[in-house]
Amino acid sequence: MKKVVIITGASSGLGKELVKLYFQKNYSLVLSGRNQNGFEEFKNKENVDVVLGDLVKKETLDKIEYIIKEKYKRVDILINNAGVTYI
């Protein structure tokens, strides 16, 4: 069974580079970020789940939790790369 990695802030910058690295290593990926365009190259890839949204919103966290519980049952690695936005 493939290892499962969650990467937050995965739609750009360092997060996106980490996505590429773990994708090449054949991990199952659960990705979160706010920029939909940042996920285009991973759209419809097997073993890649994308949650578009901000981690300060409960619905975003609920979606991530649902994917983990229903599909993977575990997390092997968490890379918490989400930034902070001031409004």
Kindly give the confidence (pLDDT) of every residue in the chain, 87 residues in length, as a single tens digit, with 9 standing for 90 and above: 899 999 999 999 999 999 999 999 999 999 999 999 989 888 789 999 999 999 989 999 999 999 999 999 999 999 999 887 665
What is the distance of C-alpha 39 from the center of its chain? 10
pLDDT of residue 43: 79
- Given this model, what pLDDT does residue 86 score? 61
CATH code reported for the domain at 4-80:
3.40.50.720
- Output DSSP code: residue 43: T
Q: Which position has the token pair 């290593």? A: 25
Predicted structure pTM score: 0.91
Q: How many angstroms separate the CA atoms of 21 and 48, rounded?
A: 13
